[in-house]
Structure 1
Amino acid sequence: MAEVSRQYPYGNRRGNIPDRQVHPGRALRYYDLIGMGFVAVVLISTIAAQKLIALGPLVMPGGIVLFPVSYIFSDILSECYGFSHSRRIVWMGFAANFVMALVFTLVVALPPAPAWPYQTQFATVLGFVPRIVVASLLAYLAGEFANSYVLVRMKVFTQGRHLWMRTIGSTLVGEGIDSLIFMLIAFVGTMPWPVMWTATASVYLVKVAYEIVITPLTYVIVRQLKQAEGVDHYDHDTDFNPFRFK
């Protein structure tokens, strides 16, 4: 019996339309640029998170201004290039964040020059608290991998349809895990439980709203990127182990 080909909006797993999977050695023109943008967003958000901002009755870390964009980058990477390529960029972001925290901690600890009077201000802004660093790194890893996994699995299940459902659905899961892990590790014992749950819910809702508002732009970027790269990866046989680095 002849195998029936599955037709997808941008590519196929088997069949007679052009293969748009990402194969080893395939030239990718924009992958590195998107990866650098993702890492930059993560680093800037980590520094901005040192300040608490008030948006009406909501008090949130300043990183909320930019950090949700990292999930948009993750959606674009996963949707176009697949889980394994997204996994590589997530680990690059983790490594850059870790090194940044180490460098800032070391620089703050080093004695200031006698003529430089800003040690206190510098330490206040860039002196990372170890507990916050651990919370941020673990929440980042868990949230980003969950976001990417949910998106690529939904893509296969929906046969590439309803991108909005995948981006928002994956964000609901990823941002939820990220917000919960960060708040539990960073603030348990430092504030009353009702206050912590309110803060967690507030941050989570703002991040999800950000994703919903930006969805039309995500559509445009994904469509243009798939056409420019000639790729549209489907994770049918992917190893989803987050610790596989090949």
Structure 2
Amino acid sequence: MIVFSRAQKLFVVLAAFFVANAILAEFIGVKIFALEDTLGLKPFEWNLFGQTGSLNFTAGTLLWPIVFIMTDTINEYYGQRGVRFISWLAVFLILYGFGFAFAAIHLAPASWWVGVAQNQGVPDYQAAFAAVFGQGLWTIWGSVIAFLIGQLIDVWIFHRIRRSTGERWVWLRATGSTAISQLVDSFVVLYIAFVLGPQHWSMDLFFAVGTLNYLYKMGAALALIPLLYLARSAIHAYLGHAEAQRMMHAAAAG
């Protein structure tokens, strides 16, 4: 009988939750929602780089702040190798999921299934399925490349700050690494998907939307700082303070 240590079980749980959130964020990201309408607020007409509009974001932004928290938590206890491993695993499984989604789109639909949701306002279920799960290749590659670059930058900045501050100021290394990594992530995904992609956004629109997405992500990351400390307390209670401290020192030492 194989017996797993608490540290091993914790890594499996954290990695599974991280990957699940990353995959869900990619798949639900096809939906664009209006933040003001969702919150019941009057539309905020922003004006940036000569562009105006309301606050519209992909539904994936609901989950990315959780991914940031998971990244920093794994970084804290399992170091750079732990974060790199789960980042590459997430990228592989995201591409794996999209691969099967595209395969499912091209399966011949049952004739009765195509119109099964007509009374719900969906006259062609096959077309709806293809539209939701068949995100453009430019969007998929842009998102995956931006995610991976952001993760690698995040883990590097996190440990640079940690070496300078020691174990103090958890919020600083978490927020600082997120601030830099998401600055890159927010603009890389839009540039690949919408500037290089078939829509050929103007640079003014690119900078305006990228800035709004970045401010939203940073606002959410700051709001979730208490969750980072809550996760830290829960991990120390589960592992025991001595074991948690040992893992943190080992992670910091690389």
TM-score, with structure 1 as normaliser: 0.82
Q: Distance in 2 between matches of 1:105 and 1:222?
A: 39
Give the letter for the 1:46 counterpart. E
SS in 1 for 2:9: coil
Query: Percent identical across equivalent pairs?
Result: 26
Q: CA deviation at 1:115?
A: 2.0
1:26 Cα shift?
8.9
CA distance in 1, matches of 2:35, 2:234: 34
Q: Distance in 1 between matches of 2:59 and 2:7?
A: 37
Contact preservation (8 Å) 1:105, 1:128: no
| CA drift at 1:157 | 1.7
Give the drift of 1:182: 0.2
Report the CA distance between 1:187 and its aligned residue.
0.6
Task: Give the one of 133, 138, 146 matched to 1:131.
Answer: 138
**1:179-200, Cα deviation, whole Å (9 max, x unpaired):** 1110110010532222221111
For the residue of structure 1 that corresponds to 2:224, the secondary structure is: helix
Match of 1:99 among 96, 101, 120: 96
1:203 aligns with 2:213: yes
Q: Distance in 2 between matches of 1:225 and 1:27?
A: 9
Write out the 4+ residue segments of structure 1 that deviate beyond 6 Å after TM superposition.
none
Does the Cα contact within 8 Å between 2:159 and 2:252 map onto a contact in 1?
no
1:51 aligns with 2:61: no
Alignment of 1:159 with 2:151, yes or no, is no
The farther-off stretch of 220-229 and 60-69 is 220-229
Q: Which moved more, 1:102-111 or 1:31-40?
A: 102-111
Whole-Å separation in 1 of the counterparts to 2:233 and 2:31: 36
TM-score, normalised to structure 2, is: 0.79
Shift in Å at residue 92 of structure 1? 1.2
Which of 4, 10, 15 is residue 30 of structure 1 equivalent to?
A: 10
Which digits, 9 at most, give the CA deviation of each residue in 1:162-212, with x for residues without a partner? 111101100001111111110110010532222221111111111111111
Q: 1:49 to 1:107 in 2, by over 3 A?
A: same
Q: CA deviation at 1:30?
A: 0.8
Letter in 2 for 1:232: M
Unaligned runs of 5+ in 2: 37-53, 115-124
The within-5 A match list for 1:94-243 is: 94-117=91-114, 118-188=125-195, 190-229=200-239, 230=243, 231-235=247-251, 238=254
> CA-to-partner distance for each residue in 1:192-246, whole Å, 9 max, x for gaps?
22222111111111111111111012012123314533221455653xxxxxxxx
- Residue 160 of structure 1: how far off its partner (Å): 1.4
Kindly provide the CA deviation profile for residues 105-130 of structure 1, in whole angstroms up to 9, marking residues without a partner as x.
11112221222211101001111211
Tell me the SS of whatever aligns to 1:53.
strand
Task: Compare 162-171 and 147-156 and name the one that shifted more.
Answer: 147-156
The 8 Å contact of residues 162 and 252 in structure 2, kept in 1 or not, is answered as no
Higher helix share: 2
SS in 1 for 2:111: coil
**Which amino acid counterpart does residue 188 of structure 2 have in structure 1?**
I
Deviation track 1:16-67 (CA, whole Å, cap 9, x = no partner) reads xxxxxxxxx9952311001100011011111111011122321211111112
* Counterparts in 2 of 1:34 and 1:208: CA distance versus 1, 3 Å: same
Structure of higher RCO (CA pairs closer than 8 Å, 6+ residues apart): 1
State the SS of the aligned residue for 1:191. Answer: coil
Which is worse superposed, 87-96 or 224-233?
Answer: 224-233
1:84-115 deviation per Cα after TM superposition (whole angstroms, max 9, x unaligned): 11111111111110101111111112221222
Give, in whole Å, the separation in 1 of the partners of 2:250 and 2:159.
7
Contact 1:80 1:222 in 2 (8 A): no
